[in-house]
């Protein structure tokens, strides 16, 4: 017996057609008209759209960062993702300084033991010793085909240009892709103490410490190295015109450079959100920072014309008001690797969050929630507002990330033989986004009060129903590691 999705409209990156779809086992077995329902469980999809499960290639679940650990883990983050229509993501493993890439990978594998949806790993190189360079090719056999380098966060994650260049050379040889956080961390590290010394310590001043020029410069520098090494480059969280232009110049010159932006960069502005009264702006601190309405327009154009290929979230959320309960004990245990589910012990407990940076913007943990809302917000402001066709929406949110990161056609599309990761989308469902209804572990969302029309009403992963309305049907360990293939296409 299979599951027959009847009378829906199937949306892929290329088509939008009324058809039935049969799932047998974990994959799609037939797509066609009037499939005989006999012997199958029928899901009536009249008036609904069927889309591939969303893919988000930029998340930070349970990331130790900024003196604390990001809130959502592979349990809470996964449920929130699926309620929002995302069924697969790629998280960033961080190589511990002095340790190996596999040390980082093993740590993240433990975190992922509770997975509820499918996931992959990128590996962030922080300490490129000769033995680490030699370790890179072995990642491919383990299904990890992408490396990440931070050009910012000096003395934390930042690497120098030699590291970036050498990593690209090795990655290119082994069919891997290199991703960069492109901001000139040395310039930022010069500006920040100067601002603080001038008494500029508020959330808005974080924006002044990371001007768009340093993003454009770093994007250009990485693009030049991509051209020299032939290594495919993917620039994460692009926020502004100089960075988009650097990518466009590279692409026009035949350099294999691609990029993404993240939902928040299409909606939030430094003036309104970082400049909100009091400490409120801390909610919106991320790096690179949110920018201006002009940059929003540039980003919409860039995803429409293919200069950028994906919209991710960079989900990395911290409490706005954290640090409640015996968190010092918890941090000590966490850092010692003796992990306890601190907030699960007592819901009034909270690990530290944004309040760490009261009086000093440089100490505000960087990042914000968004994993759950990505598909709904981009549908509302992309498709409903006429900026994106439904097919382009699927291309950006599902298909392109699967192609670029070696998961296609198993993931990212609805076709015979593909994993049955299916979102039943109600295009008429109106609701208001709110922290009151989110499934993320957070005390705020950045789209509070936004009205959206269109919502996932049922979500399936490999043929198994995870979400039915407000009901969660998944289980810990139900999510599987996605073994990705090298030599993925450059789009």
Closest to 403 measured CA to CA, from 10, 77, 13: 13
Residue carrying the six token digits 């017996």? 1
Regarding 256 and contact with ligand URP (CB under 6 A), the answer is no
Using CB under 6 A, which of 88, 286, 290, 446 touches ligand URP?
A: 286
DSSP of 250-318: HHHTT--EEEEEEGGGGT-BIIIIITSTTTGGGGG--SSPPB-HHHHHHHHHHHHHTSS-EEE--B---
Contact at 8 Å (CB) between 251 and 257? yes
Task: State in angstroms the smallest separation of the CB of 316 from ligand URP.
Answer: 4
Using CB under 5 A, which of 62, 73, 118, 314 touches Zn ion?
A: 314
Using CB under 6 A, which of 314, 343, 372, 421 touches ligand URP?
A: 314
30 pairs with which residues across the strands? 22
Which residues, 171 to 210, sit near ligand URP by CB under 6 A? 181
Q: Which is nearer to ligand URP, 85 or 370 (CB)?
A: 370
Task: State in angstroms the smallest separation of the CB of 150 from Zn ion.
Answer: 7
Contact at 8 Å (CB) between 318 and 66? yes
311 pairs with which residues across the strands? 261
Q: Which is nearer to ligand URP, 33 or 97 (CB)?
A: 97
Pairwise CA distance, residues 203 & 192, whole Å: 12
Closest to 146 measured CA to CA, from 310, 300, 286: 310
Stretch that binds Zn ion, among 261-269, 275-283, 311-319, 370-378 (CB under 5 A): 311-319
Exposure string for 299-324, b = 16+ CB within 10 A, e = fewer: bbebbeeebbbbbbbbbbbbbbebbb
Q: Which is nearer to Zn ion, 90 or 202 (CB)?
A: 90
DSSP of 396-424: IIIIHHHHHTT-TTTSSS--TTSB--EEE
150 pairs with which residues across the strands? 158, 181
The helix (H) or strand (E) run that includes residue 393 is helix 390-394
Q: Which is nearer to ligand URP, 353 or 486 (CB)?
A: 353
Residue carrying the six token digits 């069927």? 50
Task: State in angstroms the smallest separation of the CB of 40 from Zn ion.
Answer: 42
Q: Which residue is nearest to Zn ion (CB)?
A: 181
Q: Which is nearer to Zn ion, 92 or 300 (CB)?
A: 92
Task: State in angstroms the smallest separation of the CB of 149 from Zn ion.
Answer: 10
Using CB under 6 A, which of 40, 48, 60, 411 touches ligand URP?
A: 60
Task: Tell me which long-range contacts 428-431 makes (C-beta under 8 A, separation of at least 24).
Answer: 428/47, 428/453, 428/454, 429/453, 429/454, 429/455, 429/457, 431/455
Using CB under 6 A, which of 61, 164, 170, 316 touches ligand URP?
A: 316
Q: Which is nearer to ligand URP, 48 or 60 (CB)?
A: 60
Regarding 462 and contact with Zn ion (CB under 5 A), the answer is no
Which residues, 209 to 238, sit near ligand URP by CB under 6 A? 237
Regarding 95 and contact with ligand URP (CB under 6 A), the answer is no
Sign of the dihedral defined by the CA atoms of residues 293, 450, 314, 227, in that order: negative
Select from Zn ion, ligand URP, none the partner in contact with residue 71, using the beta carbon and a kind-dependent cut-off of 5 to 8 Å. none
Q: Which is nearer to ligand URP, 317 or 400 (CB)?
A: 317
Sequence-distant (6+) residues with CB within 8 A of 356 are: 66, 67, 68, 322, 323, 363, 364, 365
Task: State in angstroms the smallest separation of the CB of 207 from ligand URP.
Answer: 12
Number of amino acids touching ligand URP (CB under 6 A) = 9
Binding mask 177-196 for Zn ion (x = CB under 5 A): ----x---------------
Task: State in angstroms the smallest separation of the CB of 14 from ligand URP.
Answer: 31
Task: State in angstroms the smallest separation of the CB of 60 from Zn ion.
Answer: 5
Using CB under 6 A, which of 120, 281, 367, 454 touches ligand URP?
A: 367
Task: State in angstroms the smallest separation of the CB of 316 from Zn ion.
Answer: 6
Binding site for Zn ion (CB under 5 A): 181, 314
Binding site for ligand URP (CB under 6 A): 60, 181, 237, 286-287, 314, 316, 366-367
């Amino acid at each position: 017996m299979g599951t027959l999705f009847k009378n829906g409209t199937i949306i892929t990156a290329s088509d939008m057609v009324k058809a039935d779809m049969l799932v047998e086992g974990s994959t799609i077995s037939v797509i066609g008209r009037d499939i005989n329902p006999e012997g199958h469980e029928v899901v009536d999809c009249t008036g609904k759209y069927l889309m591939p499960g969303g893919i988000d290639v930029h998340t930070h679940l349970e990331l130790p960062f900024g003196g604390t650990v990001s809130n959502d883990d592979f349990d809470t983050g996964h449920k929130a993702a699926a309620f929002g229509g995302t069924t697969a993501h790629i998280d960033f493993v961080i190589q511990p300084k002095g340790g190996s890439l596999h040390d980082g990978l093993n740590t993240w594998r433990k975190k992922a033991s509770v997975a509820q949806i499918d996931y992959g790993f990128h590996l962030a190189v922080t300490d490129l010793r000769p033995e680490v360079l030699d370790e890179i090719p072995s990642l491919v056999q383990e299904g990890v085909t992408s490396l990440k380098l931070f050009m910012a966060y000096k003395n934390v994650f930042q690497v120098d240009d030699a590291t970036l260049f050498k990593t690209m050379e090795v990655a290119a040889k082994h069919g891997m892709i290199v991703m960069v956080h492109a901001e000139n961390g040395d310039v930022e590290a010069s500006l920040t103490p100067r601002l603080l010394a001038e008494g500029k310590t508020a959330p808005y001043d974080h924006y002044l410490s990371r001007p768009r020029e340093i993003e454009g410069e770093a994007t250009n520098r990485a693009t030049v190295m991509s051209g020299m090494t032939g290594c495919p480059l993917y620039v994460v969280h692009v926020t502004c015109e100089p960075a988009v232009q650097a990518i466009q110049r590279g692409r026009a010159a035949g350099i294999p450079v691609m990029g993404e932006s993240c939902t928040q960069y299409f909606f939030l502005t430094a003036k309104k959100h970082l400049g909100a009264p009091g400490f409120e702006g801390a909610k919106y601190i991320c790096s690179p920072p949110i920018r201006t309405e002009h940059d929003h327009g540039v980003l919409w154009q860039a995803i429409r014309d293919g200069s950028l290929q994906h919209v991710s979230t960079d989900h990395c959320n911290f409490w706005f008001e954290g640090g409640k309960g015996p968190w010092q004990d918890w941090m000590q245990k966490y850092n010692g690797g003796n992990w306890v589910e601190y907030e699960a012990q007592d819901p009034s407990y909270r690990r530290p969050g944004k309040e760490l940076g009261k009086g000093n913007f440089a100490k505000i943990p960087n990042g914000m929630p968004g994993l759950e809302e990505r598909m709904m917000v981009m549908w509302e402001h992309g498709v409903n507002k006429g900026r994106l066709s439904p097919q382009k929406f699927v291309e950006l949110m599902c298909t392109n990330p699967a192609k670029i990161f070696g998961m296609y056609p198993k993931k990212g599309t609805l076709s015979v033989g593909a994993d049955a990761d299916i979102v039943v989308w109600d295009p008429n469902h109106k609701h208001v986004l709110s922290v009151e209804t989110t499934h993320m572990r957070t005390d705020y969302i950045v789209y509070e009060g936004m009205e959206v029309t269109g919502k996932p009403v049922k979500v399936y992963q490999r043929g198994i129903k995870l979400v039915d309305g407000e009901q969660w049907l998944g289980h810990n360990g139900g999510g599987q590691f996605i073994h990705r293939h090298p030599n993925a296409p450059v789009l």
